Amino acid sequence: MWRAGFGPAVEQLGDLSKYNPKQFYLALKKASTKKPEYIDVADDYLKGLMQGIQEIGRQQKKEIPADEKKKRQQMSREGVRNLNMYWMHEMVNSAAQLREKMAFFWHGHFACRNLNVFYQQGLLDTIRTNALGNFGTMLKEISKSAAMLNFLNNQQNRKDHPNENFAREVMELFTLGRGNYTEQDVKEAARAFTGWSSNVKGEYVFRRFQHDFGNKTVLGKSGNFDGGDVLDILLDKMETARYITRKLYKFFVNEKVDESKVEWLANRFHKSDYEIAPLMEDIFTSDWFYDEKNIGANIKSPVELLVGIQRMLPMKLENEEALMLLQRVLGQLLFYPPNVAGWPGGKAWIDSSSLMMRMRIPKLINDIDEMNVNAKDDDDIMMGMKAVEKKANNKTASKQVAGANAGMRRQIINADVDWEQYVKKYESVIREKLGEEISKTLLQVKSRVSIDLIKQYTDQTGRQNFIRTATLQIMSTPEYQLC
């Protein structure tokens, strides 16, 4: 449930002992077969601004008014934040847990930082729609997405003046992996992607007069290739199947890779023409997936941690913006990857400060407690305020930035947790065994913190109070960070 989704929801706790792992996986797969609905968070005002810009483009005016451009950028940043919160809500509440978890993986694999909310909505829809489908289809659709083409500068890739950025990242990060191509392969592939562009609405456009129709040689094959041909050549290589499979293994199974397992999986993945669902079934229904060495071997990413807590403890948040701050403080803000390689994951999630913050979260959610924490400044996330400060370099601008920072740092989560269903799970457990049962429910590995010690910090005034406080204490242990 934690690996193929974001942890069990409270209403599923009673079923955990009734079914075997394969039955759970098949149920998760069935719940994820329906095509996801398109997530559209852009409001009418922003859509109106975009239509105005399109009209300017049709009139062939060179300049968009500065105030209109600034307003559009600010509104689009806010739109990306709304998209973040909406998708996180889907992760918490959707029955299609497997699809959303796979989409979360591909969101990191096809890392893209683009502040155009329309572009990001389109990219997210492509990822969620193809998350359990065909990798080749997804790769081709993403390679034609406005978000990725603009993020990797392919709009600057023209005949006689090729920009190699897009072609390089497609090879290094999306398919083959480093070391499986040459610099000449990159140069030739870049020529094949010339003319791949998009319009203001985010639709793919092939600009034929910017395309190099000459002969190219990529990975030993020659021809008058376009970008689609190059992607087919990359998919044909066994190295691509190995690279993707190894990355999936590290994410879903164990950071310490068993190369023999990866080779077996990769061969089947390649022979299936890159069908994702059978590959994941091979992983989740295998006996070795449940080997002791793989249990509790992964560190929950910040998003997995935050979503999993909300699934176990259903809650209404008075201030959902606080979740954005928590993502930022913990180092994983959806739609804001640190670079094109995405988030490194694994032990990179844990350092002395982030671990302490992670263990505070359950109590922050339960209490009306103010988060007074510092997060790394990022002008995209700070709504352009850093740019204002740098440009103005005066006291007024500095106060504006300080105010924006303070607003993000000092936020109260104030969650109204619905404890009823969770507490009911333990109604048949005798008081002396409650601590142990709660620990078994929440943890994948045995805690090094003794139940006796946890009891010292719980409310013993009643059964319900004990369950609530013991749950929060166990969620605040290092072992809860593992899945």
> What is the 3 state secondary structure string of 116-153?
CHHHHHHHHHHHHHHCCCEHHHHHHHHHCCHHHHHHCC
| Rounded distance between C-alpha atoms, residue 146 and residue 426, angstroms | 50
32 three-state secondary structure: coil
Question: What are the backbone angles phi and psi of residue 422, rounded to the nearest 5°?
Answer: -65, -45
Structural element, H or E, at residue 410: strand 410-412
231 three-state secondary structure: helix
Q: Where are the beta strands (DSSP E) in 215-361?
A: 216-218, 221-223, 315-317
CB atoms inside a 10 Å sphere around CB 104: 23
Write out pLDDT tens, residues 86-110. 999 999 999 999 999 999 999 999 9
CB atoms inside a 10 Å sphere around CB 11: 12
At 403 the pLDDT is: 46
Q: What is the mean pLDDT of the chain?
A: 89
371 three-state secondary structure: strand
State pTM to two decimals: 0.92
Write out pLDDT tens, residues 268-324. 999 999 999 999 999 999 999 999 999 999 999 999 999 999 999 999 988 888 889
In total, the chain counts a number of residues equal to 483
Instruction: Name the nearest CA neighbour of 359 among 384, 326, 333.
Output: 326
Position of tokens 């572009």?
A: 119
Instruction: Name the nearest CA neighbour of 240 among 166, 171, 185.
Output: 171
CA distances (Å), origin 194, targets 122, 214, 315: 22, 11, 49
Region for 220 from its dihedrals, namely left if φ exceeds 0, alpha if ψ lies in -120 to 50, beta otherwise: left
Bigger pLDDT: 272 vs 410 = 272
First to last CA, the chain: 10
| Rounded distance between C-alpha atoms, residue 8 and residue 309, angstroms | 10
| Rounded distance between C-alpha atoms, residue 76 and residue 150, angstroms | 15
At 121 the pLDDT is: 96
Q: How far is CA 27 from the centre of its chain?
A: 23
Judge contact between 166 and 193, C-beta under 8 A.
yes
Lowest mean pLDDT among 63-72, 280-289, 374-383: 374-383
At 54 the pLDDT is: 56
